[in-house]
Amino acid sequence: MKRKWTGVALLCAAALLLSACGGSKTSETTTENNSASEETQTDSTASTGEKVVRVAAVDPQVALDPQQYTYSIVMKITDNITESLLQSNDDGSLEPVLLAKMPEISDDQLTYSFELLPDVKFHDGEVMKASDVKYSYERLIKMAKMATLLENVQGYDELSAGTADELSGFQIQDDTHFTITLKKAYAPFLSVLSTAYTAIYPEKACEEAGDDWGMKTLYGTGPFKMDSYQSGVGVTLSRFDDYHEGPVKLDGVDYKFIEDVNTQVLEYQAGNVDYVDVDPSVYPIYSSNETLKDQMHGFQPIGCYSLTVNVNTYPDARVREAIALSIDRAAICDSILHGTATVPTSYIPAGIIGHDDSLPEFEYDPEQAKELLAEAGYPDGIDLRVTVNTKYAGNVAIATAFQEQAKEAGINVEVEQVDSAAWSDMKASGGVDCGISNWYVDYPDPESMLYPMTKTDTNSSFWHNDEFDQLLEEGIATTDTDERQEIYAKAEHIMTREDWATTPLYNETKFYLLNPNITGFEVGSTFRMFWKDADIQ
């Protein structure tokens, strides 16, 4: 008995030593193995013959219906199945997709006249008609979740409250012509119609499918049709031969649901998927890896990360300014984000109206923060509870860095980590004193960026400012770009440099790995994934 256990202990020690040695050995051979797996990747694609792109995705676990579920992982898939009337480009311009030409706008900016492309077919073979467009918009409003996108359309309130069955502002002339009348001038309206939420569904099939819409059935006018959606497995799309722009080059797109992000990357390295999103934390490793660095692509989505302070907890703007001054954005961008992010000059990001490049970057000045706190009556500093959603691992690191940086300013930061469900609840109910959050535009217009800061309390700051709200009203009623630039720049100044309701932290770069054999695919700043023009060499 004794002898046996002594042996056990010895062998344990030996096993430990071995595993330690084994560990360092593997790290030396890493590069070789990578190039080896690269070769297998090329082989596997060539041997199948079919041009199918395999995309690593997270199981959305909900119906693939952006009218109901606004997660970006849903749109990543549906953007290839369904289409909206218009499409917005990286530079913010719009182009017609399902329309024969850009809509005509009446002089009072209230009535928009549309002409649909003739003979656009849905995947079930039906031809798209104006009534399908009307149906889709009415459904969006009835679904409630993203309904407010269309709140400026005449008849919205009645339909939303259930006192009317139809959207009175939508008038059908014939199968391809219709007009939409607004309650008041609303400049971003056409941009709204380019979002995935306003995708056009076939009325008949969608009604028949009921709760199965987006689960078992999903028809659109897009380049691919949905063959299957299996929970936990994936979504398979195949080419739609009657696509109105002519059949695309790919045979299909195969979304594989891989829950764990680390496993997703392993599957990419093993050559089993062609596209995978990667976290900025792995940037230094991939960028120094010979094989992977050319396969890694980055893009800056329009939006930003910000630190939002609840004005009910911290009613003094000087305190909020002090908080804004006590976070070292440049250090965070350089270190935690490995230089992949940039320090913003304004909350409204570059690429949309209202962005002001001439402003200085938001700075780190703990001394001034201290003075401001003293002025506001806190010479000994303050305690600050920063709430972070653990779904985004990077946020925890940033909050931790902020904790260190804020000490200089006499701010004692306590980091509170909560999961997504608790986070969204606390955010809505005012339980977040100070939170790190991100916001991306739904359509490239400053209104989409600033919307959460006005009217509704969807933003955790609960900040309201009459002048700001007034400017936003003006902004949507104005069509002249220069005038709008001035209006939104002014509104932003009130929000971020006078009232310090929310303070921009950084503009991130998102990264993905793409099989080098795939051409014609790029994710742009609109953050949408279209496989329409892609091909496999």
Partner 1 sequence: MLSYTIKRLAQTVFVLFGISLITFVLLQIVPGDPVALMLEKRADPETIAKVRHELGLDLPYYVQYFNFIKGAIHLDFGTSYFTNEVVSDALFRCFKVTFKLACMSFVFSAVIGIPAGIFSAVKRGKGIDTVVMILSIIGVSAPAFWVAIILQIIFGLKLNIFPISGFDSVASYVLPSVALGARYAGSMARITRTSMLEVMGQDYIRTARAKGVRKWAVILKHALKNALIPIVTLIGTDFGYMLTGSMLIEKVFSIPGIGKLAVDAMSNRDLPLLEGTVMYIAFVFVIVNLIVDLSYAFLDPRIRYGKGVV
Partner 2 sequence: MSKKIFGFFNKQKQFEKDVLENNMQYSSFYGDSFKQLKKNKIAMFCAGIIIILILIAIFAPLIAPYDPTYQDYSAVLAEPSMAHPFGTDEYGRDILSRIIYGSRVSISIGIVAQVVASLVGVTLGSIAGYYGGKIDSVISRIMEIFQAFPDLIFAMAIMTFMGKGVVNLFIALGLLTWVRTARMIRGSVMQLKEKEYIEASRASGATTYWIIMKGLIPNCLSTIIVLVTLGIPNAIMYEASLSFLGIGIVPPTPSWGNMISAAQTFINYRPLYSIMPGVAIMITVIAFNIFGDGLRDALDPKLKN
Q: How many residues sit in the footprint of partner 1 (CB under 8 A)?
A: 55
354 phi-psi bin (left φ>0, alpha ψ -120 to 50, beta other) = left
Exactly one of 235, 418, 434, 449 binds partner 1 (CB under 8 A); which one? 418
Q: Which two tokens stand for residue 231?
A: 């929970």
Examine residue 272 and tell whether it contacts partner 2 (CB under 8 A). no
Evaluate whether 339 touches 333 at the Cβ level (below 8 Å): yes
Question: CB under 8 A: which stretch of 14-22, 231-239, 249-257, 456-464 binds partner 2?
Answer: 14-22
Q: Round to whole Å and give the CA distance between 181 and 168.
A: 8
Evaluate whether 98 touches 128 at the Cβ level (below 8 Å): yes
Q: Which two tokens stand for residue 161?
A: 């409250």
Pairing of strands 177-181, 111-115: antiparallel
Residue with tokens 């012509």: 177
| Nearest in space to 434 (alpha carbons), one of 373, 365, 377, 503 | 503
| Contacts to partner 1 from residues 259-318, by CB under 8 A | 259-260, 263, 266-267, 269-270, 272
Residue with smaller CB distance to partner 1, 148 or 291: 148
Strand partners, 177: 115, 174
Roughly how many angstroms between the first and final C-alpha of the chain, as a whole number?
65
Residue 400, binding choice from partner 2, partner 1, none, Cβ under 5 to 8 Å by partner class: partner 2
CB 408 to partner 1: min, Å = 32
Residue with tokens 């009556």: 377
Examine residue 35 and tell whether it contacts partner 1 (CB under 8 A). no
Q: What are the b/e assignments for 238-265, b being 16+ CB within 10 Å? A: bbbeebbeeebebbbbbbbbbeebeebb
Pairing of strands 170-174, 177-181: antiparallel
> How many residues in the chain?
537
Question: CB under 8 A: which stretch of 42-50, 163-171, 248-256, 414-422 binds partner 2?
Answer: 414-422
Examine residue 261 and tell whether it contacts partner 2 (CB under 8 A). yes
Examine residue 257 and tell whether it contacts partner 1 (CB under 8 A). yes
Q: How many CB atoms lie within 10 A of CB 346?
A: 23
Residue with smaller CB distance to partner 2, 192 or 406: 406
Evaluate whether 372 touches 378 at the Cβ level (below 8 Å): no
Residue with smaller CB distance to partner 2, 148 or 281: 281
CB 9 to partner 2: min, Å = 5
Evaluate whether 345 touches 362 at the Cβ level (below 8 Å): yes
Q: How many residues sit in the footprint of partner 2 (CB under 8 A)?
A: 43
Exactly one of 35, 284, 367, 498 binds partner 2 (CB under 8 A); which one? 284
Q: Which residues of this protein are in contact with partner 2, per CB under 8 A? A: 1-2, 4-6, 8-9, 12, 16, 19-20, 23-24, 26-27, 30, 260-262, 265-266, 269, 279, 281-282, 284-285, 289, 334-336, 338, 390, 396-397, 400-401, 415-419, 422
Q: Which residues bind partner 1 (CB under 8 A)?
A: 3-4, 7-8, 11-12, 15, 26, 33, 37, 40, 59, 61-63, 69-71, 144-148, 211, 215, 231-233, 256-260, 263, 266-267, 269-270, 272, 418-428, 431, 442, 456-458
